[in-house]
Amino acid sequence: MVVPAETPASIKNWTRRHLLGLEKLNREEIEIILDYAAYFKTLQKTRSKLDHLSGVVVANLFFEPSTRTKTSFNLAAKRLSADTVDFTASGSSLSKGETFIDTALTIESMGVDLMVVRHSSPGAPELLSRHLKTGVLNAGDGTHEHPTQGLLDIFTMREKLGSLDGKTVTLVGDIKHSRVARSNIWGLTKLGAKVIVCGPPTLIPPEIERLGVKVVHRFDDVLAESDVINLLRVQFERQRGAFFPSIAEYAHLFGMNKKRLQRSKENVLILAPGPINRGVELTPDVADGKHSQILHQVTNGLFVRMACLHLLAQTQARETPVQ
């Protein structure tokens, strides 16, 4: 694909203060983010520190444990010379005696420009966006959306495939409890991809066909037509009771292994949002094999997050008058 050497010209078309999910974005907005991510990827080849967010304060509010996403956001902000502050709280706001909105308002009062929010409750970042003056970036809200993960998956696919128009992407596994699945579906369908969701009926949420995806329960049936296979993590922590009889049976029916890879397209891309359960969603040989994009995804995540932070900071600077 063409890597823009200059700043993408489209920044004026970005007007959003918050990034809450890919549902709300149109195709052009998604492409602006992807183009900026590509731009930062080029700039980062020299590993020099950039100053796009110089003077901007980014707070990471993680109300749910996370190491990968938090590290990636932190590094993205730092590579752009932002000041960062971390706030980690476990459990619901009730157990702390302070509501979650109060917590965010407190952090905001310390002079924060952007807030990166991870929370176990769907809609929590949206709730904050209505109460805060800062820009809010959703870093995963329960089983709702995880827009930067969706974007980095799409960025990785676009980088390898050129365009997603007409390409077939199969999402495998726990669709019901997956915010990554929802963000992937919104983003991919907007960019013209054909999306298949594949998993046991207990892990397919009702009426998901209305999002323009095809539902399939037998993984083997869709191997041959998939350009990309995105293996979602089994969300043991979000499941309540047994949605399938055993991990062994899950791996047998929905795990990616050498045999299945042989029946897939020759250049199939294997993605997994991680952290992966080796031997469950995919076998180690596939995870470490040539089709695997797992580590590229992690690398690209940094550039996608740099792009998102930069775009939101621009809006914030434009809309907040200097005191």
Partner 1 sequence: MSTLLIKNGRLIDPSRNIDTRQDLLIVGGRIADENTSAANIEIDESIDASGLIVCPGLIDCHVGFREPGCEEDETIETGAAAALAGGFTTVAALPDTFPVVDSRASAEFVVRQSERAARCRVVPLGAVTKAHQGEELAEIGQLIEGGAVGFSDGKRPISNPEIMRRALQYTSMWDRAILNHAQVPELVHGGTMHEGFQSTVLGLRGMPAAAEEIMVRRDIALAETTGGRVHLMSISSRRSVEEIRQALSRNIKVSADVSPHHLLLTDECMADYNTNFKVDPPIRTEEHRQALIEGLKDDTISCIASDHQPLSGEKKSLEIDHAPFGIAGLETLLPLCVKALIETQHLTWSQLIKKLTVGPATLLSLDSGTLRPEVVADVTIIDPDASWSIETDQFQSKSQNNPFDGLTVTGRVKFTIVDGEIRFRQDELS
Binding residues vs partner 1 (CB under 8 A) = 23, 92-94, 99-101, 119, 121-124, 126-127, 141-145, 179, 182, 205-208, 210-211, 240
> How many Cα atoms within 13 Å fall on the side-chain side of residue 182?
21
Min CB(185)–partner 1 separation in Å: 10
d(CA 76, CA 94): 31
Is there a catalytic annotation at residue 18? no
Min CB(17)–partner 1 separation in Å: 16
Of 4 and 205, CB closest to partner 1 = 205
Min CB(167)–partner 1 separation in Å: 23
Is there a catalytic annotation at residue 69? yes
Min CB(207)–partner 1 separation in Å: 4
Other beta carbons within 10 Å of 133: 13
Q: Which of 177, 186, 185, 187 is nearest to 143 (CA)?
A: 177
Is there a catalytic annotation at residue 189? no
Is there a catalytic annotation at residue 68? yes
Is there a catalytic annotation at residue 190? no
Q: List, as own/partner pairs, every contact residues 235-241 make where C-beta atoms lie below 8 angstroms and the sequence separation is at least 24, other chains included.
A: 235/143, 235/174, 235/177, 235/178, 238/142, 238/143, 238/177, 239/174, 239/177
Of 75 and 216, CB closest to partner 1 = 216
Of 211 and 247, CB closest to partner 1 = 211
Which residues lie below 8 Å from residue 205, measured CB to CB, with a gap of 6+? Answer: 175, 176
Which amino acid would we find at residue 102?
D
Of 119 and 310, CB closest to partner 1 = 119
- Which residue numbers are catalytic? 68-69, 96, 118, 146
